[in-house]
Structure 1
């Protein structure tokens, strides 16, 4: 074979081999790049904003903002401060309720089934609803225009360990019979509370207290009564033993009564409905000559007025 023929044959083989390699490797690479990019684009397209709007929607009022109340998981205490847009909505609600005294709002608070309830309320959702109500009251809204409920649910939108706006607000008219004289059921509950009152005992010179399950249940009964009898109030009377002078013991008894008022207000009772007094060492129930008697005298007695 001549040199010219060999030269032409080499060129033909090079073209064929180059075409084969291009089709095998470069085309597959292009397909792979296209395949890899496609799901990334689709995943980005379906992302949703992580918000739960605060919505007030009743006859005569409509307000909406993407900001909302927030709670840490397992907590019934609002995360503060709240946003300016949320405060603006609350002020609009205040104006509306002042102009419509027969309007009432049911606040339903929500909690997840795997959250722990360490409050005195039946469930964490109810505790959250009451904390929202307390915030409304602190902003000048009337406590009498709110009812609170709680529900346990399986899921709610969260940001890390924070629940976003776990509450709903339903507008309705106040039942004119709801503030009437209590029926037999509520009278019986009041008698039960006052016959076996909540008594908080304290260590010497101390006014802090860890509540037992029985004491928490008594607070739950008080809250339940006040929720239904709107003109009722609570009386917290502080007492002491006879160690020290009378004036200091009167002051110590008042500190114990004030602690009880603060505790009750954090658990859903308007402070304006709690009256405090101090009897100091004047009304002992135990023998001040014994350590056991003195311990029983260091107390706060909480009843319904």
Structure 2
């Protein structure tokens, strides 16, 4: 083989060997460097959405929106105005209840354990449920198609000082007429067996309710909501200090004051009758200060 041919063969072998070594070692280094230097992709943290959906779900009705009814902390009054999406759901509920007059909806209102209840209701959750019910009634729905409940829980989703949708709506099975009648008769008997008795100071008609008395007012309101011809009877009494006729007048003033108080707390004044027995029906000994105090009262029952 000539020298020229050997020279060309050497060049060819050098090129082939150089290419092989480059591909084997240098490209791997490039790939490794590229992989090591590539920025790491970090998945963003998933944030929980800050809303409570408004949900109406029952046989024959389905509606949901991310907005909801709202209450300020420690308040039983709905925040106004209500959003368009919630209003649309309320209109759908109105149409559904109108087409199904026997359907009952239970509204369960919620309050947190650190909130203060300044209402006459047993708890703030129940007060909120009743305010939601009253709002629905103001939109044309029937009051007797709603029941209300209240629960106090540890916490609820909030935005600043506003609770987002602290209420739930359940569509009840329809009770038979006889079962419902027995239920409300039992409530009436319970109210009259342990009536609401409001006590007064001498010659005064002011009062402050305790928790037990607030619960009794709630029971009376529930009964009146479901028994449309029911009437509340408020009978005023006095001790025997002073003139008999003056005490009869004082007893009537106490009965009228109690009627006014009840009407301000959600009981229709036209469904409250008043009477006065003056000093004629004492329950305590008028010879003792304790007995006289117990006689200065108004007794509230279902007539």
TM-score by length of 2: 0.64
* Structure 1 unaligned residues grouped into runs of 5+: 1-30, 266-270
Cα deviation, 1:19-74, whole Å, max 9, x if unaligned, reads xxxxxxxxxxxx9xx99xx99x946xx44553223222334444444432222334
* Map 1:105-184 → 2, pairs under 5 A: 105-117=105-117, 121=121, 123-177=123-177, 180-182=180-182
2:231/2:273 contact within 8 Å kept: no
1:239 matched to 2:236: yes
Which whole-Å CA distance do the structure 2 matches of 1:164 and 1:96 have between them? 25
**1:218–1:132 distance in 2 versus 1, CA, 3 Å:** same
Q: Pick which of 165-174 and 110-119 moved more.
A: 110-119
* Map 1:245-260 → 2, pairs under 5 A: 253-260=255-262
1:57 matched to 2:57: yes
**1:168–1:254 distance in 2 versus 1, CA, 3 Å:** same
Q: Pick which of 204-213 and 189-198 moved more.
A: 204-213
1:278 matched to 2:280: no
Residue of structure 2 aligned with 1:301, choices 292, 299, 302: 299
2:200/2:293 contact within 8 Å kept: yes
Which whole-Å CA distance do the structure 1 matches of 2:96 and 2:112 have between them? 32
Q: CA offset at residue 294 of structure 1?
A: 8.2
Q: CA offset at residue 163 of structure 1?
A: 1.1
Larger Rg: 2
Cα deviation, 1:133-152, whole Å, max 9, x if unaligned, reads 23222333212212223344
Which whole-Å CA distance do the structure 1 matches of 2:196 and 2:73 have between them? 30
**RMSD, aligned CA:** 4.3
2:198 aligns with 200
**1:261–1:146 distance in 2 versus 1, CA, 3 Å:** same
1:16 aligns with none
- Specify the SS of the correspondent of 1:181: helix
Cα deviation, 1:46-103, whole Å, max 9, x if unaligned, reads 445532232223344444444322223344x123423252344333322321121122
TM-score by length of 1: 0.63
Which whole-Å CA distance do the structure 1 matches of 2:156 and 2:299 have between them? 40
* Structure 2 unaligned residues grouped into runs of 5+: 1-36
Which whole-Å CA distance do the structure 1 matches of 2:178 and 2:142 have between them? 16
Which whole-Å CA distance do the structure 1 matches of 2:145 and 2:81 have between them? 22
Q: CA offset at residue 159 of structure 1?
A: 1.2
2:214 aligns with 216
**1:88–1:203 distance in 2 versus 1, CA, 3 Å:** farther
